[in-house]
Amino acid sequence: MRRHVLFRITIFFIGIAAFLISGCGTSTPSRFYTLSSLRSAEPGQQPAGGSAGTVFRIGPVDIPDYLDRPQIVTRTGRNELSIAEFDRWGGSLKNDVSRVLIENLSSIFIAGKATFVPWKQYAPGAYRVPLCISRLDVTPGGNLFLKAQYSIIDKDGKTVVVIRESSIIRPVDGAGYNVVVAAVSDALADLSREIAAAMRSAIAQAR
């Protein structure tokens, strides 16, 4: 009798283990994404007009709290957001935006005309470019809206040379998260071009 009970208990736990293993095997795997930057300088781009000693510290970069999370967030309605549990950023979105801006600006400016570094990096005599993204809403199959404010602070660390606001709207041609990430990358490329133009203005004023 005792052996029969032990046998039934053993079979019960084996069944539970098989169920758990089967469940784990069919769970949805997470997908991870990073933003892409411009690969090379655009044809016809004008020189920055600065010297090799012109340095810009990019940041800090602020993003809305609802975006500052591992999951990719999209907008599904006027007051509704969708958080993708299995589609995530490969790291900090804030840091990725900063990286892309630095890489984009380095591509847009002719080599040797200016240098771009993260704002935390020590660079005496550098301009500083803080940036606040107040809106970055993406509706799959709809539009992307990006709104940002940025300024250029002079080498003295106090004087604001330029302060501007940018609003960018781009279509999102598809519903996949790869399309969403590509749209964000394209919008940051547009923003980078606007910031580059402001930088040229700051350099011209310093002459």
- The verdict on residue 14 lying in a domain is no
The residue among 70, 68, 73, 65 whose CA lies nearest residue 140 is: 73
Tokens 């990430």 map to which residue? 181
- Each residue of 6-49: pLDDT tens digit? 445 555 555 555 545 554 555 779 999 999 999 644 544 444 44
What is the total count of domains within the chain? 1
How far is 189 from 58, CA to CA, in rounded Å? 15
Residue 171 lies in a domain: yes
CATH (domain of 156): 3.40.50.10610
Q: Of residues 13 and 71, which shows the higher confidence score? A: 71
With a cut of 50, say whether residue 179 has pLDDT above it: yes
Cα–Cα dist 161/21, whole Å? 61
| Helix, strand, coil percent values for the chain (each to nearest 5) | 35, 30, 35
- pTM beyond 0.85: the answer is no
| pLDDT number for residue 189 | 97
Q: Where are the alpha helices (DSSP H) in the chain?
A: 2-25, 93-108, 177-205
pLDDT digits (tens, 9 = 90+) for 141-172: 999 999 999 999 999 889 999 999 999 999 99
**Residue 161, in any domain of the structure:** yes
Is 145 a member of any domain?
Answer: yes
C-alpha 97/C-alpha 189 separation (Å) is 10
3-state secondary structure of 25: helix
* Residue 2 covered by a domain: no
Structural domain contains residue 18: no
Torsion of CA 178, 183, 185, 191, to 10 degrees: -170
Q: Residue 12: inside a domain, yes or no?
A: no
Cβ atoms 203, 50 nearer than 8 A: yes
- pLDDT at residue 110, as a whole number: 73
What is the rounded CA–CA span in Å between residue 23 and residue 164? 53
Q: Residue 201: which pLDDT band, with cuts at 50, 70 and 90? A: confident
d(CA 43, CA 145): 27
Residue 61 belongs to a domain: yes
Q: Going by C-beta distance under 8 Å and a sequence separation of 6 or more, which residues neighbour residue 122? A: none
Per-chain mean pLDDT for the chain: 84
Distance CA 65, CA 67 (A): 5
Domain with 201, as residue range(s), is 31-205
Angle at 106 between CA 137 and CA 165, to 5 degrees: 40
